[in-house]
Structure 1
Amino acid sequence: MKIYISADMEGITGVVDAEDVQPPGRDYERGRVLMTEDTNAAIRGAYDAGATAVLVNDAHGPMRNLLPELLDPRATLIKGRPKPLGMMEGLTSEYDAALCIGYHARAGVLGVLSHSFMGHEIEDIWLDDQLTGEIGLFHAAALAYGVPVALLTGDDTACAEMKAWDPTVATVPVKYAKDRFAAELVPVAEAQAAIEATAASALRNLPSVTPPPADRRLTVRWQSASVASHLTAIPGVTRDDDRTTTASGPMLHLYRLFNLYLRVATAVTTNPPYC
């Protein structure tokens, strides 16, 4: 059984602020350790369930956050950027399940460190007609590979967002949002034990995958009209209004296209920290 782990940081046990998740924040190095240990808990759970291989993709920010020397040596790590598929780099149809560790809620939702990919620059994303963020896009793209998402960890808001997309996905709330930069924390040892146990249980009881629609529609509402204008240079991308772009096609094409959007938007704007 081959397992894929996408590890973000905002939904990691114990972190609540930019200082915890962005270099050179005063608690960023501590956040890296917590991120690595949450990921290790998922790796242990995967091997408890019979995994034969685990691939971990560092999916947060600079994508150089996980500490290789502290990572469970049974796992292989993808580190650094740019990556054509960003948060799901390395995932293929060869994997039996995907685990989302440390994920966060979409922009506009009152969750810990909530945003969608670029912080303030992206106001909303719709997949077909459903509002989404990083959780929904990852889930849809994984299903396009035929790979079920077995587990998501993060705050209670992120867990609820995942359940709204797919109630069969197991979730572990490691904190309970009080505001965007405040949370009631689950004790670290308790949270990581729950990640390990829930990962193992979820992988022993994988749901069947329902084939997704062949074509999807991806709509993005940008803060900057300049970003939307530049993106229309990409064949197939149209503007619904000055700040809203739409593209249609197979989900995996749209996910790769969206990662190109992010590079264009970064080049066009002086994007401030999302918090």
Structure 2
Amino acid sequence: MRIYISADMEGVTGLVDADDVQPGGRDYERGRLMMAQDVNAAVRGAVAAGATDITVNDAHGPMRNILPEALHPAARLIRGKPKHMGMLEGLDAGHEAVLCVGYHSRAGELGVLSHSFMGHEIEDIWLDGRPVGEIGLAQATAAAIGVPVAVLTGDDRACAEMADWDASVTAVAVKHAKGRFAADLRPAEEARTAIEEAVAAALTARRTPLATPSAGSTLAVRWQSASVASTLLGIPGVTATDSRTVRAHGALPALYRQFGVWMRVAASLTNQPPYC
């Protein structure tokens, strides 16, 4: 059984602040170890369910957060950037399930460290007219590839967002949001035991992904900067709905990959701290 883990950081056990998740932050070194421990709990659960091939994609920020020596030896690590598929780099139809570890709610939600991909630079995203963030895009793209999301871990708001997209996904709340930079934390060992047990149970009861429309999808993004939107209009197929919002139509996962190009363009034009 081949299992794919997309590992973000904001939804990791115990982490609540930018200093916990950004390189150079006063608690970042501790945060990256906490990230590895949540991932390792998921790996242990996958192994218990019979997984023989486990890929972990470091999907947060610089994508060099997990120390290779801290990762469970049963897993391989995809590390660094750029990656054509970003948070889903390495996922293919040969995998039997996706595990989203340490995920967070979308921009505008009152979840711990909530944002959508680029902090303040992205104000809103819509997939087929529906507000979406990293959780919904990951689920929709994985489904288009043919792989179900089996488990998501994060705060309670992230778990609720996942349930809105696919209620059959097992969601593990490792903390309860009290604000964007505050949470009621679940004890670390209890949280990791819950992750391990949830993964083992979900993978034992494997399922098929939700059906994805074959006609393609429309992705729209509202940027903080009109200059980003204007520049993106140079990409064939990208159109404007207003001075700061662009959209494109296409099939997932190709549309997800194109969105990664949009973000690289935006990063070249801006220098916004994610959580200021």
Give the shorter-chain TM-score range: over 0.9
1:119 alignment counterpart: 119
Provide the C-alpha distance between the structure 2 equivalents of 1:248 and 1:273, rounded to a whole number of angstroms: 27
2:16 alignment counterpart: 16
Provide the C-alpha distance between the structure 1 equivalents of 2:119 and 2:222, rounded to a whole number of angstroms: 12
1:75 alignment counterpart: 75
TM-superposed CA distance for 1:270, in Å, is 2.1
Provide the C-alpha distance between the structure 2 equivalents of 1:263 and 1:181, rounded to a whole number of angstroms: 27
Structure 2 gaps of 5+ residues are none
Structure 1 gaps of 5+ residues are none
Provide the C-alpha distance between the structure 2 equivalents of 1:272 and 1:180, rounded to a whole number of angstroms: 15
Which TM-score applies when normalising by structure 1? Answer: 0.99
Residue by residue, what CA displacement relative to the aligned partner does 1:114-165 show, whole Å, maximum 9, x if unpaired? 0000000101000001100000001000001100000000000000000000
1:247 alignment counterpart: 248
2:85 alignment counterpart: 85
Provide the C-alpha distance between the structure 1 equivalents of 2:110 and 2:158, rounded to a whole number of angstroms: 10
Which letter does structure 2 place at the counterpart of 1:237? V
TM-superposed CA distance for 1:78, in Å, is 0.3
Query: SS state of the match for residue 69, structure 1?
Result: helix
Residue by residue, what CA displacement relative to the aligned partner does 1:95-117 show, whole Å, maximum 9, x if unpaired? 00000000000000000000000
2:236 alignment counterpart: 235
Alignment of 1:1-275 (within 5 A): 1-214=1-214, 215-275=216-276
TM-superposed CA distance for 1:67, in Å, is 1.3
Provide the C-alpha distance between the structure 2 equivalents of 1:20 and 1:62, rounded to a whole number of angstroms: 14
Query: SS state of the match for residue 262, structure 2?
Result: helix
Which letter does structure 2 place at the counterpart of 1:66? I
| Runs of at least 4 residues off by over 3 Å | none
Asked if the contact 1:231–1:261 (Cα under 8 Å) also holds between the matched residues in 2, the reply is: yes
Asked if the contact 1:170–1:198 (Cα under 8 Å) also holds between the matched residues in 2, the reply is: yes
TM-superposed CA distance for 1:33, in Å, is 0.6
Which letter does structure 2 place at the counterpart of 1:260? V
Provide the C-alpha distance between the structure 2 equivalents of 1:181 and 1:255, rounded to a whole number of angstroms: 29
Provide the C-alpha distance between the structure 2 equivalents of 1:236 and 1:206, rounded to a whole number of angstroms: 38
Asked if the contact 1:224–1:243 (Cα under 8 Å) also holds between the matched residues in 2, the reply is: yes
Which letter does structure 2 place at the counterpart of 1:74? A
Which TM-score applies when normalising by structure 2? Answer: 0.98
Asked if the contact 1:118–1:274 (Cα under 8 Å) also holds between the matched residues in 2, the reply is: no
Alignment root-mean-square deviation, CA: 0.7
TM-superposed CA distance for 1:170, in Å, is 0.1
TM-superposed CA distance for 1:208, in Å, is 2.0
Asked if the contact 1:168–1:207 (Cα under 8 Å) also holds between the matched residues in 2, the reply is: no
Residue by residue, what CA displacement relative to the aligned partner does 1:65-111 show, whole Å, maximum 9, x if unpaired? 00111111110000001101000000001100000000000000000
Query: SS state of the match for residue 191, structure 1?
Result: helix
Which letter does structure 2 place at the counterpart of 1:38? D
Asked if the contact 1:45–1:198 (Cα under 8 Å) also holds between the matched residues in 2, the reply is: yes
Provide the C-alpha distance between the structure 1 equivalents of 2:185 and 2:226, rounded to a whole number of angstroms: 39
Provide the C-alpha distance between the structure 1 equivalents of 2:22 and 2:135, rounded to a whole number of angstroms: 20
Residue by residue, what CA displacement relative to the aligned partner does 1:21-64 show, whole Å, maximum 9, x if unpaired? 00111110000110000000000000100101100000000000
Which letter does structure 1 place at the counterpart of 2:237? G
Which letter does structure 1 place at the counterpart of 2:248? A
Provide the C-alpha distance between the structure 2 equivalents of 1:174 and 1:165, rounded to a whole number of angstroms: 20
Which letter does structure 2 place at the counterpart of 1:100? C
